[in-house]
Structure 1
Amino acid sequence: MLHVETVAVDHPLQGLVWLPEGKLRVLDLRTLNGQPAVATCSAPAEVLALMRDGAVCGGAALGIAAAYALALAARRPVPPVAWMEALQPLMDELAAIQPMAAALQWALGIMRQTVVSSKPGDDMALRLLQAAQAIQAADREANQVMARLGVQLLRRHKASVHRIMLHGYGGDLSGGGGGTTYGVVRSASAAGLVGEVLVNEARSTMPHAEAGVFELVRDGVSASLHADVEAGRLMKYDGVTWVVVGAEKIAANGDVIGPLGSYALAILAMHHGLRFMVVASTATIDSSLPDADDLRPDQLGCAPGGFGGGEMALDVTPVELIDAIVTEKGIIEQPDEGKIANLMSVRQLH
């Protein structure tokens, strides 16, 4: 049975925690700016429901949660020869939650390979738990590296003090810990490089934007919430120097599939002479997708007249509008297909 409780606002922000008793603890992102709620899951269906309902946000967090859901599923007695057959329906359901989340599909690929490579007599529950924990640790390490590299990039293009516009949630609860975009601005703020962070709120990003401001302020970062329709005015009059976004998937040529509104912000940033940074691990890079130009709105979670299903609404930012992509393997400035291919040839973390 799913158990839900509240935690104090000063509780460490750990989105997904495997408990010693063999259950998964999930901090509900939707409640972060109020009285944070924690759900304790003992069955994969409970994790699946939280993922579908938006309690877990971001491809990396979805991937980690999916890995733990499979670890929970493997605690049931199943004949060893039938493990793949037994787990495949759950894998399909997990993959369908956000098809464009490359990090989710990457994590499921690792879990699938763990099952396929197992030997008779292996403890499948233990193997899948270890794989899930490794995925979470790798994402946490990647976030730490990206935060350092993002600070290096900001130093390289130093203003008297940076004023950063953030779009989409990339905080502690978006993956294994530390955050992607939020990790960069948090580290940059601690280094004295950031004066204020402007967090965009749009229909497609509520309530995550409010939760994001709560998280940043909680960590001592000067942050404020603004409607996305104010972005142009803020860029023109309020000294914004960088727009920073995350990614659900990056095509081989550098096109970025990210939170709805990223494309419009990239156009505004180019018009106003601002720099546009994408922060995402290499798990989001899909080398099998040449470019994202021809993706249809329904493939991006957007239906005519509104947003489709429970998926996050996404859009495509063309590579020519992007100044830099920060990954755990390095920074790509003025990205293109050749630079991304070179980056992916470097063996590290992912």
Structure 2
Amino acid sequence: MGVPAIRWTESADGSAVVLLDQTRLPAEEAELVCTDPQGLVEAIRSLAVRGAPLLGIAGAYGVALAAARGFDVREAADALAAARPTAANLAYGVRRAQAAYRGALADADGGDDTAQSSRRAAEAALAAARNLHREDAEGSARMAEHGLRLLEQLLPGGGHRVLTHCNSGALVSGGEGTAFAVALAAHRAGRLRRLWVDETRPLLQGARLTAYEAARNGMAYTLLTDNAAGSLFAAGEVDAVLIGADRIAADGSVANKVGSYPLAVLAHHHQVPFIVVAPVTTVDLDTPDGASIEVEQRAGREVTEFMAPQVPQAGVEAVGGIPVAPLGAQAYNPAFDVTPPELVTAIVTDEGVVTPVTEERLGELCDRSRPDNDELMG
């Protein structure tokens, strides 16, 4: 990316979290500076920063920001973790930085004055956020490697025609992404024939963001409306579906951007592999099944108005979307839907591949690959 999706900065004015404002893409690469936790919460809710792994990084930096700026860290952590309830990584990142902060305070144990212990705790929270950022970049590379190997096993011969939904590239990650990173690896290996990009209604993350990333990487891609996917399957033009995830339940149910479940049904009917790519931190073993996943409901105006990036112009106030429904129309606007494990061919993680997708196999992978997070997530 020409502009990093997220970065930490220090200046004479103090610490800040700087975001690439994704609501302005692809028209403008503009940065949004967050100098307090509430500003970051609002950026998360408005989708200026989005995508499961990146939300984890943002949550961790948000805790570090609260600590560095002297805000109530516990209050900030709770607000950040609740900003998008479906995203498992957001709460994980928040709690990880919060645990580092608490641990540093406990280690001080009266040996330092209050100001010194607070400074050291803030430094510990920032170190945790930076470690998570680095780990996510490394995990992204491993997911790309595992995913490309799986594609080669499922689809020998190359020339893959891959359909993706929403956005799962460098804009959602400390590295090159999740599902998009696999497609990018196939492209670099000369194995990708076509990337089919769902525009992803109602906020067009596919049209605005995935197409933007595909173009920047010189990939052969074609944009389609979400409801055109069925005709592609019927014509035999899709070899595999690659999507990311915002939360994966213990039984392997996958919450992802709304519109993912219909693709899984189509893929199952047409015997096309449906592959989910996400870091192990997206798996929430405390959520037993898909019915237990809290699905965020967003404002109806995202459906009743056509939303597009707003590029500010001199003397012109930025306004909302263009109305496309009668005044007062009710809208159903879940941010995510849930795909049951029986429709998922494989879950590709930074620590390996789970296939077939069962609660036992997923649990074994998590037990092998990550430490006990009971205290972290408590």
TM range (shorter): 0.7 to 0.9
1:245 aligns with 2:243: yes
Partner SS for 2:190: coil
Report deviation, 1:13. 4.1
Contact 2:62 2:94 in 1 (8 A): no
Q: Larger deviation: 106-115 or 135-144? A: 106-115
Contact 2:198 2:206 in 1 (8 A): no
Tell me what 1:3 maps to: none
Tell me what 2:312 maps to: none
1:111 aligns with 2:97: yes
Partner SS for 2:354: strand
Q: Aligned pair in 2 of structure 1 residues 307, 71: CA closer, same or farther (>3 Å)?
A: farther
User: Per-residue CA shift, 1:35-79, capped at 9, x if unaligned?
Assistant: 21112233323222211211101122122112212212112347x
Q: Aligned pair in 2 of structure 1 residues 32, 147: CA closer, same or farther (>3 Å)?
A: same
Tell me what 2:137 maps to: 140
User: Per-residue CA shift, 1:134-180, capped at 9, x if unaligned?
Assistant: 11111111111000111101111224411000012111010212111
Tell me what 2:365 maps to: 343
Partner SS for 1:253: coil
Q: Aligned pair in 2 of structure 1 residues 175, 306: CA closer, same or farther (>3 Å)?
A: farther
Question: Which residue of 273, 276, 291 maps to 1:278?
Answer: 276
Q: Larger deviation: 155-164 or 202-211? A: 202-211
Tell me what 1:302 maps to: 297
Question: Which residue of 289, 292, 315 maps to 1:291?
Answer: 289
State how far apart, in whole Å, the 2-side matches of 1:13 and 1:198 are: 25
Q: Larger deviation: 140-149 or 25-34? A: 25-34
Contact 1:252 1:288 in 2 (8 A): yes
Tell me what 1:5 maps to: none
User: Per-residue CA shift, 1:193-223, capped at 9, x if unaligned?
Assistant: 1101011123244245322101111111111
State how far apart, in whole Å, the 2-side matches of 1:338 and 1:20 are: 45
Structure 1 vs Structure 2 CA RMSD: 2.0
State how far apart, in whole Å, the 1-side matches of 2:268 and 2:185 are: 25
Correspondences of 1:163-174 after superposition (within 5 Å)? 163-174=161-172
Q: Aligned pair in 2 of structure 1 residues 196, 313: CA closer, same or farther (>3 Å)?
A: same
State how far apart, in whole Å, the 2-side matches of 1:45 and 1:289 are: 27
Tell me what 1:14 maps to: 4
Contact 1:201 1:226 in 2 (8 A): yes
State how far apart, in whole Å, the 2-side matches of 1:264 and 1:76 are: 45
Contact 2:179 2:243 in 1 (8 A): yes
Contact 2:166 2:204 in 1 (8 A): no
Structure 2 residue runs of 5 or longer lacking an equivalent are 301-329, 374-378
Tell me what 2:257 maps to: 259
Tell me what 1:130 maps to: 127
Tell me what 1:27 maps to: 20
Tell me what 2:355 maps to: 333
State how far apart, in whole Å, the 2-side matches of 1:160 and 1:241 are: 10
Correspondences of 1:79-90 after superposition (within 5 Å)? 86-90=72-76
Report deviation, 1:339. 0.7
State how far apart, in whole Å, the 2-side matches of 1:160 and 1:134 are: 36
Partner SS for 1:139: helix
Partner SS for 2:369: coil
Identity %: 32
Tell me what 1:99 maps to: 85
Structure with higher Rg: it is: 2
Question: Which residue of 208, 211, 227 maps to 1:210?
Answer: 208
1:50 aligns with 2:72: no
How many residue pairs match? The answer is: 327
- Residue identity matched to 1:300: V
Q: Aligned pair in 2 of structure 1 residues 218, 112: CA closer, same or farther (>3 Å)?
A: same
- Residue identity matched to 1:319: P
Question: Which residue of 150, 155, 162 maps to 1:153?
Answer: 150
Report deviation, 1:131. 0.9
1:37 aligns with 2:30: yes
1:321 aligns with 2:334: no
State how far apart, in whole Å, the 1-side matches of 2:258 and 2:157 are: 28
Report deviation, 1:20. 4.1
Partner SS for 2:69: coil
State how far apart, in whole Å, the 2-side matches of 1:187 and 1:341 are: 27
- Residue identity matched to 1:116: R
Contact 2:169 2:210 in 1 (8 A): yes
Contact 2:97 2:126 in 1 (8 A): no
State how far apart, in whole Å, the 2-side matches of 1:163 and 1:266 are: 16
